[in-house]
Structure 1
Amino acid sequence: MALASLESICKRISSGGTPSRKTPDYFTTAASGHLWVKSKELLDCAIEDTEERISDDGLNNSSAKYYPAHTVLVAMYGANVGQLGWLRTPATVNQAICGLVIDEQKADWRFVFYALLLNRGDLTIQAQGAAQQNLNQDLIRQFCIDVPPLPVQQRIAGILSAYDELIENSQRRIKILESMARALYREWFVHFRFPGHENHPRVTSPLGEIPQGWDVKNLGELTKLITKGTTPTTLGREFQPDGINFVKAESIEPSGILIESKFAKIDADTHELLQRSQLCSGDILFSIAGVIGRVCSVPSRILPANTNQALAIVRCASALHVPFLYMTLRDDNFKNHCLGHVVQTAQANVSLSVLKAVPIVWPPRVLLTEFNAHAESLLRQIQVLSEKIQNLRRTRDLLLPRLLSGQIDMEKLEHA
């Protein structure tokens, strides 16, 4: 096994750009727009769609540039530094991402992705900067990984990618279940086409016309607690290599899946000190700093657990409210309301007072019960698939260092 710099096994290493936000026509919602990847979208997995797309003019009048399928992506700046991804289809990227186009005669792109995943800590420790930690293209070019012969790379990548394919299958099923739950929620509680809606005339409310017998309440009225946590280091406490789970905003995928490998750890004394933010099963977490609007439900399997000030903890007043409020917080209307009240300091954030004051159309109890009968089944299936994903990731991550270090003999494995 030889040590090789990334520069020596790549055809191209470069970064992209961002079209000017002052020209709205540089961005588009059309399906014909160019996929444009931002660093927050690098979640250590394949990328086949993007949050935003850019127009032809946006592409031609910026440093954004196309990268081919199977390009390995590395986030270079800030909170996302060291995050990875790879392109399933050609796409453009912004300036916070470094694209590695692998020379297929020298290396398997999947192997390089897994090697960077394993050695991420060694790469990010080289990040420089005072206000935020940054990598640059030169550091990435000179970074070295162990590279076995190409056939060995391909066998290792084949084993590890089989786990990722199973993970992606589960993620696709989660998206389908999520879209079913969201469609049901919007049909009943946004468009008001719930069972028997024909018999409910509309009345005026602070949110416009709503069915008679419904109400408008603030989120704070429907919960027994809305709070947030604290970063342990601000209290003189340090994170630990092992211990109690500490959930951060980057631990939550846009789909609502928790990435347990991205939890930090704290000791029992720190957890006790941070009593205000000790999590309970069924709590809803909503990101209120940095990336606004990521939502997940806290499963019992991760407890005991705690969180920091970037995540609001929403604890429902009744178990009956949980599915409805979870879907409400995941709805675009709720997120857009919060985005309209963002305070921009060092990073975008939404205050707890704003969160508590968000107005919500509140249906009668009988309709909540009926909604739960449908939604709970979908949400349970999502939780089961989420646990399956965590188990697959855990197994893959156990195999990763053993395969890449040569601890598992690929020749013997081939003939076993």
Structure 2
Amino acid sequence: MTKLQVIQVGTLIEQKKVDLQTGPFGTQLKASEYVEEGIPLLNVRNIGIGELKPEKLEFISHSKAEILGVHRLEANDIVFGRKGAVERHLFVKQGQKGWVQGSDCLRLRFLTDEISPLFVSYYFRTKGHQDWMNALCSFGATMTSLNQDIIGKIQLPLPPLPLQCRIAEILSAYDELIEVNTQRIRLLEDSARQLYREWFVRMRFPGWKGVRMVKGVPEGWAVKELIAMVKMKMGQSPESKYYNEEGIGLPFHQGVGNYGQRYPEHKIFCSIEGRTANAGDVLFSVRAPVGRLNISDRKIIIGRGLAAMSHKKGLNSFLYYLLQNEFSKEDIIGNGSIFNSVGKTELEKFKVFDPGVLAEKFDQIIKPFDEQLKILYSQNTHLRQIRDRLLPRLVGGKLAVREDSHLA
């Protein structure tokens, strides 16, 4: 077992080996100053477990970023969210250099060569550290809150620097493989979305020039209620006494809580059967955020927050991208009204285009994309599982590592 030196972040700050910076005050940065394109502004919702969550990323102008120079990020910085996500952090990569931390963020920067920031980032991803952060930041409140004093109390268990670097190298090898797959996933998903929009939004489908438009719709297309196109099942929640985390029964999903990027993560199980979704069914959130989608990768039990849909002709690839386009703005349905929830009747009567044989052609083209996506997501899940099993043993010094090899 590797001997570790334990040192508090606060001690490193006093020794000027670490710099801790709060985000800009509200008077320094206002929402009215956000722009469509420019320098990315990092907010708490963009902070994952060591990674960036790019959804709903906001931007400020280059001139505003210059004014906020002290808040601009450098590669190897570690950024925390101050409220509601205290166990998470972002390790800033080279491509994110120059971005700006938001008002709800705290930035940690290492000013010494004696510590590997990447090793520290991996330590912050361990369950033990995350549980400690949540416990210390709760204070009995409904929302966890992080401040400079708490960050100063964090204790870092540090092996010698060469071992820090070697451990970080081993773990980052898994992250690099995951990133390669993620880039392929992004390309496939973007290609599928663009093809859908080209055919069914811009109306540039094969042979479109020879098709007559009737009341703004290509001849042969029909406007139908959603229920005419899909088989639909609304979820119903079994009693909570049947829930477990030991894998007994089928995976259970109440709502979007364990949604992934495309497929849900299975953390809760139910020992009795309820209303189920089958592998390949589209999962549709019927409570805020209404319209958020995932795809079931296996048979699961669905709770009151979800509906399961499958295309009556088996065209689930087409169905997924149709719903993704129709509900690109979550919580907005039909005539633009904002819904906190949607009932069975409202959902069944939602109007959609049925492009007939074109839906089948689209599905034939995209289905191989979706099959490849399932493989890539599965590979990433497997890589994360291996990395996460190694993580606490490596950074905790329980698994010996030689500087010139992999695992001893």
Taking structure 2 as the reference length, what is the TM-score of the superposition?
0.82
Deviations 1:209-254 (A, max 9, x none): 110111122334432225345596xx5666535545344635334x
Partner of 2:20: 13
Distance in 2 separating the partners of 1:71 and 1:116:
13
More helix by share: 1
Q: Which residue of 2 aligns with 1:346?
A: none
Shift of 1:56: 4.9
Deviations 1:169-200 (A, max 9, x none): 00000001111111111111111111122222
Q: Which of 110, 117, 125 is residue 118 of structure 2 equivalent to?
A: 110
Matching of residue 376 in structure 1 with residue 367 in structure 2: yes
Shift of 1:373: 1.1
Of the three residues 289, 296, 299, the one matched with 2:297 is 299
Which residue is 1:71 aligned to?
77
1:9 Cα deviation from its structure 2 partner: 4.4
Distance in 2 separating the partners of 1:61 and 1:113: 29
Q: Work out which of the residue numbers 341, 344, 355 in structure 2 matches 1:363.
A: 355
CA distance in 2, matches of 1:341, 1:315: 23
| Displacement after TM superposition at 1:24 (Å) | 6.5
Report matched runs for 1:319-358 at 5 Å. 319-331=313-325, 333-336=326-329, 338-339=331-332, 340-343=336-339, 349-352=340-343, 355-358=347-350
Structure 1's 117 and 355: CA in aligned 2 closer, same or farther, altered over 3 A? Answer: farther
Unaligned residue ranges in structure 2 (runs of 5+): none
Quick check: 1:35–1:49 contact (8 Å CA) kept in 2? Answer: no
SS at match of 2:48: coil
Alignment pair present for 1:155 and 2:166: yes
Aligned counterpart in structure 2 of residue 282 of structure 1, from 244, 256, 280: 280
Q: Report whether the alignment pairs 1:312 with 2:312.
A: no
Q: Distance between the aligned counterparts of 2:24 and 2:251, measured in 1?
A: 36
Aligned pair 1:200/2:211, yes or no?
yes
- On the 8 A contact 1:18/1:62 being kept in 2, the answer is no
State the match for 2:146 in structure 1. 135
CA RMSD across the alignment = 3.2
Question: Which position in structure 2 is the counterpart of 1:4?
Answer: 7
Question: Counterparts in 2 of 1:73-222, with a 5 A limit?
Answer: 73-78=79-84, 80-88=85-93, 89-90=96-97, 91-118=99-126, 119-128=129-138, 129-204=140-215, 209-222=216-229
Contact 2:288-2:341 within 8 A present in 1 as well: no
- What is the deviation of 1:160? 0.1
Amino acid at match of 2:108: L
Q: Could you tell me the TM-score, scaled by structure 1's length?
A: 0.81
State how far apart, in whole Å, the 2-side matches of 1:231 and 1:67 are.
47
Gap runs ≥5 in structure 1: 344-348
- Given residue 145 of structure 2, which amino acid in structure 1 is its aligned partner? N
Does the 8 A contact of 1:220 with 1:226 survive in 2? no
Query: How many residues were matched structurally?
Result: 386
Letter in 1 for 2:316: V
Alpha-carbon offset, residue 35 of structure 1: 0.7
Equivalent in the alignment of 1:26 = 33
Q: CA deviation at 1:120?
A: 1.3
In the alignment, is residue 37 of structure 1 matched against residue 35 of structure 2?
A: no
What is aligned with 2:58? Answer: 52
> Which protein has the larger Cα radius of gyration, Structure 1 or Structure 2?
2
CA contact (8 A) 1:279 1:306 kept: yes
Offset at 1:289? 5.1
Relative to structure 1, is the Cα distance of residues 25 and 158 closer, same or farther in structure 2, using a 3 angstrom cutoff? same
Secondary structure of the residue that 2:328 maps to in structure 1? helix
| 1:60 CA drift (Å) | 7.9
Please, which of 203, 212, 224 is the counterpart of residue 231 of structure 2? 224
Worse overlay, 151-160 or 117-126: 117-126
Q: Does 1:399 align with 2:393?
A: no
Please say if 1:268 is aligned against 2:271.
Answer: yes
Opposite residue 284 of structure 1, the aligned amino acid is V
TM-aligned CA deviation for residue 291 of structure 1: 5.4
Q: Kindly tell me: are residues 113 and 229 of structure 1, through their superposed partners in 2, closer, same or farther at Cα, counting changes over 3 Å?
A: farther
CA distance in 1, matches of 2:134, 2:121: 15
Q: What is the Cα deviation at residue 319 of structure 1?
A: 4.9
* AA of the residue aligned to 1:97: C
